[in-house]
Amino acid sequence: MCRRTTCWRAERALLAATLLFAGCAAAPSTDTAPLEQALRERTAAFHGRVGVYVRHLDSGAEVALAADDTFPTASMIKVPILAALLAKVERGELDYHQELTYTKDRLYEGEDLLGAFADGEKVALAKVAMLMITTSDNTAALWCQELAGTGTAINDWLSNNGFATTRVNSRTPGREAARTQFGWGQTTPREMSELLVRANAGRVVSAAASEELQRCLARIYWDAEALSRIPPDVATMSKQGAVSDSRSEVVLVHAPHGDYVFCVITDDQQDKGWGADNEGYVLLRDVSALLWRHFEPDRPYAPPAGMSKYW
């Protein structure tokens, strides 16, 4: 187990003991029936497909709604891309701080930061990986996918590590039909959650690689959906995804009463808008708020008035 995870758990244990001694702790319920009912009610009227997976890591309590169905990953596929990239670093096939040369033919049209680099500019692999995860830079992600050994190599890593459904489809020979159906990548809410759980436990490639993956997933620019319903002083790991008919987010929360992980993915959305009121974005925020209230009942949280100016 990595030192950071051990430290967090020690801090949570001390906090829980202090609250219990003071007689004011309200531990989360292990009865998942009310939580499942609330999630079913919230997702029932959604105009599209929805999959939800939730697990409290200490108690093992979980809720799964279509959690093993296949959904698009959108940008969540960047998590397994990073895992496979770090596997090559561990094997000595890549140097995480090696200098790369950016060329304009790598540009993936959009608002990516890497795409604003000058042709021929030097950049460290670690910075490209950071941009892929932190700002969800697509130009950086496609470069990392190539460096990881193409989609086939990433899919081999996923298969060898027990992920039966999660796959890269884009730029991967033999995955054309899957790409037509699901886009860049595909996964299930349960498998995407499991990837973060393993990273948190030091079981993705190595303890060192897991810690780097944790650090990357802990500094996310896109914080207006699920993360916005979790207090800012609570550490999280997360990755988001969005295409026109799908919104998704996977989050592992280092909550005072114990870590919990969840993943919400939509598909076939009727609402294809990109505003904050998109039905998928609203669902991500609502599910995150519901889970925080369930697992941390003694610490109510809502974003302060005026936060919308910053999202």
Q: Which two tokens stand for residue 67?
A: 């959690």
Rounded to 10 degrees, what is the CA torsion of 205, 169, 284, 9?
0
What integer is the mean pLDDT of 33-44? 98
Predicted confidence (pLDDT) at residue 123 exceeds the cutoff of 70: yes
The secondary structure of 221-244, three-state, reads CCCCCHHHHCCCCCCEEEEEEEEC
pLDDT higher than 70, residue 242: yes
Residue 261, pLDDT > 80, answer yes
pLDDT value at position 24? 45
Q: Output phi, psi for 40, to 5 deg.
A: -65, -45
Instruction: Please give the structure tokens belonging to residue 270.
Output: 């009727």
User: Which percentage of the chain shows pLDDT scores above 70?
Assistant: 91
pLDDT of 9 over the 60 cut: no
In this prediction, residue 191 has a pLDDT band, given cuts at 50, 70 and 90, of very high
Residue-wise pLDDT for 282-301, tens only, equals 999 999 999 999 999 999 99
What's residue 31's pLDDT? 84
Q: Are 240 and 76 in contact (CB under 8 A)?
A: yes
pLDDT at position 109 is: 86
Structural domains for the chain: 3-69+188-301 (3.40.710.10)
Query: d(Cα 166, Cα 158) in Å, to the nearest integer?
Result: 7
pLDDT for 96-116, tens place per residue?
999 999 999 999 988 789 999
State the amino acid at position 194 in one-letter form.
E
Question: Dihedral sign, CA of 215, 217, 223, 229?
Answer: negative
How is residue 276 written in tokens?
């904050």
Q: Are residues 84 and 160 in contact, defined by beta-carbon separation less than 8 angstroms?
A: no
Mean pLDDT of the chain: 92
How large is the C-alpha radius of gyration of the chain?
Answer: 19
Of 21 and 81, the one with more pLDDT? 81
Is the per-residue pLDDT at 12 higher than 90? Answer: no
Query: Over the range 196-231, which residues count as b (16 or more CB within 10 Å of their CB) and which as e?
Result: bbbbbebebbeeebbbbbbebbbebebebbbbbbbb
Closest by alpha carbon to 182, among 167, 196, 163, 192?
Answer: 167
- pLDDT for 152 equals 96
Nearest to 226 by CA among 195, 208, 246, 253: 253
Polymer length in residues for the chain: 311
Short-list 311, 282, 288, CA closest to 301: 288
φ, ψ at 234 (rounded to 5°): -100, 125
DSSP 235-303: -EEEEEEEETTEEEEEEEE--TT--EEEEEEEES-S----STT-HHHHHHHHHHHHHHHHH-TTS---P
Q: pTM score, two decimals?
A: 0.90
